[in-house]
């Protein structure tokens, strides 16, 4: 798979399954989706769903998908797989597929995902995906996994975790911007004396670790193990 993210969550398997498989709970912690709605279907068939991501206050990019899960496996782990597509002309992702794997380990669960997609817009889309969208999707997935971890381990709701992140991000930006802004306000230009505080502020903003209650993509593993492979469930799952 093109993208891989792994987090170790100290919680029980049923709690993690519920908060990732229930659409109302899933959309609370996953930054990639604003809305997830199950569509009617026959019992025993893979679950069809509609998803939407709000990219601007007045614009949402929507698509459809199909998912299936294996809750009872011989090894004690669980998997789910999905395929999705979006006909929206502004969606950079035309279609894709992926899986979640839940592996119990000690007092927690090793929760991991692998997924890939086909970008839209031809050569320009492939270039934009390599330089912008794919790194952004990887970061958003890892950030969301850590947000989920905080919810399961510390009881920090996804909404509260977002507030923590926004406040901490604003504080890091202020460390860099304050000396520069003060220089322009007092002198109308950037003073050489403002450079060292701005550089120190930038170093602090980049190097100081995030609060234990703030989501951070850096806490997740982003490189797939050499023997990692997609589950058979994904291979047999037909597209939406």
Q: How many helices (H) and strands (E) does the chain have?
A: 7, 7
> Which residues have CB under 8 Å from 35's CB, separation 6+?
27, 50, 51, 52, 60
Decide if 235 contacts 70 (C-beta within 8 A).
no
Task: For residues 93 and 121, state if they share a domain.
Answer: yes
Checking if the pLDDT of 42 tops 80, the result is: no
pLDDT value for 215: 97
The predicted model gives 24-32 an average pLDDT of 95
Checking if the pLDDT of 212 tops 90, the result is: yes
Q: Which residues constitute the domain of residue 203?
A: 161-207
pLDDT value for 202: 84
Checking if the pLDDT of 63 tops 90, the result is: yes
The answer to whether residue 147 sits within a structural domain is yes
The predicted model gives 169-189 an average pLDDT of 82
Checking if the pLDDT of 56 tops 80, the result is: no
Task: For residues 91 and 186, state if they share a domain.
Answer: no
**Residue from 158, 139, 111, 126 nearest 10 by CA:** 111
Checking if the pLDDT of 174 tops 80, the result is: yes
Task: For residues 199 and 81, state if they share a domain.
Answer: no
Task: For residues 165 and 144, state if they share a domain.
Answer: no
Task: For residues 147 and 203, state if they share a domain.
Answer: no
Taking the model in full, what pTM does it have? 0.91
pLDDT tens-place string over residues 74-129 = 788 999 999 999 998 888 889 999 999 999 998 999 999 999 999 998 999 999 99
pLDDT-above-70 percentage for the chain = 99
The answer to whether residue 68 sits within a structural domain is yes
Task: For residues 133 and 113, state if they share a domain.
Answer: yes
Among 68-72, 79-83, 129-133, 166-170, which stretch is predicted with the lowest mean pLDDT?
68-72
Task: For residues 80 and 187, state if they share a domain.
Answer: no
Task: For residues 166 and 60, state if they share a domain.
Answer: no
CA distance 128 to 195: 33
Between 206 and 149, where is the model more confident?
A: 149
Sign of CA dihedral 14, 15, 18, 21: negative
The answer to whether residue 218 sits within a structural domain is no
Task: For residues 59 and 119, state if they share a domain.
Answer: yes
pLDDT value for 29: 97
pLDDT value for 66: 94
Task: For residues 114 and 144, state if they share a domain.
Answer: yes
Where residue 65 sits, what CATH number does that domain have? 3.30.530.20
Task: For residues 111 and 172, state if they share a domain.
Answer: no
Checking if the pLDDT of 163 tops 70, the result is: yes
Among 36-50, 134-148, 165-179, 182-196, which stretch is predicted with the lowest mean pLDDT?
182-196
The answer to whether residue 59 sits within a structural domain is yes
The answer to whether residue 214 sits within a structural domain is no
pLDDT value for 1: 59
The answer to whether residue 217 sits within a structural domain is no
Q: How confident is the model at residue 159 (pLDDT cuts 50, 70, 90)?
A: very high
The answer to whether residue 20 sits within a structural domain is yes
Task: For residues 78 and 93, state if they share a domain.
Answer: yes
CA distance 137 to 134: 5
The answer to whether residue 57 sits within a structural domain is yes
Q: Give backbone dihedrals phi and psi of 103, rounded to 5 degrees, phi first.
A: -120, 110
Decide if 37 contacts 49 (C-beta within 8 A).
yes
Number of domains making up the chain: 2
Average pLDDT, the chain: 90
């Amino acid at each position: 798979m093109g993208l891989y993210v792994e987090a170790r969550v100290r919680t029980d398997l049923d709690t993690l399954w519920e908060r990732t498989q229930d659409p109302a709970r899933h959309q609370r912690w996953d930054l990639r989706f604003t809305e997830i709605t199950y569509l009617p279907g026959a019992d025993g068939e893979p679950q069809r769903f509609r998803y939407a991501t709000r990219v601007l206050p007045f614009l949402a990019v929507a698509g459809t998908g199909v998912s299936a899960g294996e809750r009872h496996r011989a090894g004690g782990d669980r998997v789910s797989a999905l395929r999705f597509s979006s006909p929206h002309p502004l969606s950079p992702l035309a279609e894709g597929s992926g899986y979640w794997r839940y592996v119990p380990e000690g007092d927690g669960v090793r929760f991991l995902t692998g997924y890939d997609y086909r970008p839209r817009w031809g050569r320009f889309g492939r270039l934009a995906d390599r330089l912008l969208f794919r790194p952004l999707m990887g970061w958003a997935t890892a950030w969301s996994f850590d947000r989920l971890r905080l919810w399961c381990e510390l009881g920090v709701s996804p909404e509260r975790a977002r507030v923590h992140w926004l406040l901490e991000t604003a504080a890091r930006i202020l460390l860099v911007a304050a000396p520069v802004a003060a220089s322009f306000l007092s002198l109308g230009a950037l003073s050489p004396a403002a450079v060292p505080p701005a550089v120190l502020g930038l170093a602090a903003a980049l190097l100081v670790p995030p609060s234990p209650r703030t989501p951070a993509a850096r806490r997740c593993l982003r490189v797939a193990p050499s023997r990692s492979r997609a589950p058979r469930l994904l291979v047999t799952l037909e597209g939406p």
